Amino acid sequence: MVTSEAAPFAKTGGLADVLGSLPPALVERGEEVAVVLPAYASIDLSGAERIYNELTVWMDGGSRYDCSVERIVRQGVHYLFVNCPPMYQRPGIYGDRHGDFGDNHLRFAVLCRAALAISSRIFRPDVIHCHDWQASLVPVYLKSTFRHDPVFYGIKTLLTIHNLGYQGRFGASVLPDIAVPVQDVMHPEGIEYFGDVNLLKGGIVYSDYITTVSPRYAQEIQTPEFGFGLDPLLRARRFFIAGILNGVDYAEWNPQTDRYLPAWYDEASLAGKLTCKKALLEEFYMPTDKLETRPLLGIVSRFAHQKGLDLVADCIQGIADLGVQMVVLGSGDAALERTFGSFAQARPEQFGYRGGYNEGLAHRIEAGSDMFLMPSRYEPCGLNQIYSLKYGTIPVVRATGGLDDAVTASTGFKFFNSTAHDLYNCIRYATTQFAARESWEQRMRLGMMQDFSWALSAERYAELYRRLRQ
């Protein structure tokens, strides 16, 4: 697998969770898996073993990138870190406070070339499973630069799209940097997109098979509404696209064992959840009087347009008037950060807000909240609704992508139009249901008993690898 993120080493979102949990699930099924990712400055490699010293990547014009490869074996998976200090030894994964790094095309081109060098010298794969645009040059190089190189004969590629909203689109001036044969690939049937270079498009065109992270999203991306301009291409490749719902790692996300919680609980004994709720409210300095009668809504999210949190802001007065409490953890869009910050200041007894990234708090919000809000405009899979189900925290979601696939009318609440009006009505309806304690608890238990572990989905990937190998 080739990826820009994998938990617990480097994470900005769900991609990392998947790369931390799918590979071990595959190993359990008897597959051999190596995961190639950059050795970012933030990763502690003190326990790693250097397994290759001079892995030189050559780009056009004779520019060379000297890499070494460090290995950490975790749950039977070989995590191989491409160590190339000029590319990765800086704070940040994709960028810093000034925005995205200006050389990201090059940083991930080097990753892809290094992954191919690893495939020929260190770990010979049957299938290279590429994740998102950062890994999309692998199939491009294999079908162009290395088309006639016997070293790679027989290797198949699978591209998983975790988010079509991020395509890795750059001006044509990056072409020399990424060392692709321009004549071969820089045309509308290749990586060219309205005069620019579009790396994810390259992945979609040149990989042998494509998956998305939920079945619903596999359909949605073939429509103009969700296709981000690539829907015609995706329709053309529709016989080579499947949706496989992400699994989750219950060793990390389980209210019976979660190391971040003040109390444990399960569907047979829910008492601990109330302790978690009280502690969570205290952590936000919010009143804990009506613990059992006043619902607490939770949000943990990147503040990106995709997530629809502006809709929450738009109906915040209505939400406040319902008398509920709400805690929010997340950062990204600066205007939204300010908005949630000012709600918390104006009504500290009802609203709590924390910015930044906080793993422990994310778990405590999952456990301590009564409902979890995900009003996403689109959601390729979404993991928090699945964590919420396990934690007896009723998901309130927009019916899209993996949210629609994972949540049913019996386990959560869904709304359809991406408007503050519909979101508000859905929250209001859920709030009225909260008062009927018995049926609410039934709803909680139903979700808690569902199994979204990797067992099933890992088998589907294994099946796909087998088909590709034939």
Would you tell me which residues interact with ligand GLC (CB under 6 A)? 13-15, 18, 162-163, 213, 246, 379-383, 402
Which partner from the list ligand ADP, ligand GLC, none does 167 bind, CB cut-off 5 to 8 Å by kind? none
Q: Is 344 in the site for ligand ADP (CB under 6 A)?
A: no
Of 117, 329, 373, 420, the one binding ligand ADP by CB under 6 A = 329
Q: Please tell me whether residue 133 adopts helix, strand or coil conformation.
A: helix
By the rule CB under 6 A, 13 interacts with ligand ADP: yes
CB of 397 to ligand GLC, least distance (A): 12
For residue 265, give every residue at least 6 positions away whose Cβ sits within 8 Å of its Cβ, in sequence order, or none. Answer: 255, 256, 271, 272, 273, 276, 392
Is the CB of 36 or the CB of 383 nearer to ligand GLC?
Answer: 383
Binder of ligand ADP out of 330, 375, 395, 401 (CB under 6 A): 330
| CA 250 – CA 468 distance, rounded (Å) | 29
Cβ at position 306, least distance to ligand ADP in Å: 7
Q: How far apart are CA 114 and CA 2, in angstroms?
A: 10
301 and 312 Cβ atoms separated by less than 8 Å: no
Distance CA 200, CA 405 (A): 24
* In the complex, least distance from residue 443 CB atom to ligand GLC, rounded to whole angstroms: 23
Measure the CA–CA gap between 20 and 31, rounded to whole angstroms: 15
Mapping DSSP to helix (H, G, I), strand (E, B) and coil, where does residue 109 land? helix
Q: Which amino acid is at 169?
A: R
Q: How far is the CB of 36 from ligand GLC (least distance, A)?
A: 18
357 binds ligand ADP (CB under 6 A): yes
341 is a contact residue toward ligand ADP (CB under 6 A) = no
**Residue closest to ligand GLC (Cβ):** 14
Q: Please, what's the largest Cα pairwise distance for the chain?
A: 71
Which C-beta is closer to ligand GLC: that of 192 or that of 405?
405
Residue with Cβ nearer ligand GLC (256 or 306): 306
Q: Does 302 bind ligand ADP (CB under 6 A)?
A: yes
Backbone angles phi, psi at 389, to 5 degrees: -55, -45
- State residue 182 phi and psi, 5-degree precision: -55, -45
Residues across the chain: 470
Q: Which residues lie across from 383 on neighbouring strands? A: none
Does 305 bind ligand ADP (CB under 6 A)? Our answer is no
Binder to ligand ADP among 298, 308, 382, 401 (CB under 6 A)? 382
Residue 348 near residue 361 (C-beta atoms within 8 A): no
Residue 319 has φ and ψ, to the nearest 5°, of -65, -45
Task: Give the ranges where 207-247 is alpha helix by DSSP (H).
Answer: 215-220, 231-236
Asked if the peptide bond before residue 232 counts as cis, ω within 30 degrees of 0, the response is no
| Contact partner, 302, from ligand GLC, ligand ADP, none, Cβ < 5-8 Å per class | ligand ADP
The 3-state DSSP class for residue 95 equals strand
**Which listed option, ligand GLC, ligand ADP, none, makes contact with residue 425 (CB within 5 to 8 Å by class)?**
none
Taking phi over 0 as left and psi of -120 to 50 as alpha, with beta for the rest, 385 belongs to alpha
Cβ 38 to ligand GLC shortest distance, Å? 18
Nearer to ligand ADP, 97 or 148 (CB): 97
Q: State the nearest-atom distance from the C-beta of 35 to ligand GLC, in Å.
A: 15
The reply to whether 383 sits near ligand ADP by the rule CB under 6 A is: yes
357 binds, among ligand ADP, ligand GLC, none (CB under 5 to 8 A by kind): ligand ADP
Bridge partners (DSSP) listed for residue 49:
71
Q: Which does 300 bind (CB under 5 to 8 A by kind): ligand ADP, ligand GLC, none?
A: ligand ADP
463 binds ligand ADP (CB under 6 A): no
Supply the minimum distance, in Å, between the C-beta of residue 371 and ligand ADP.
16
Interacting residue ranges for ligand ADP, rule: CB under 6 A: 13-15, 17, 300-302, 329-331, 357-359, 362, 381-384
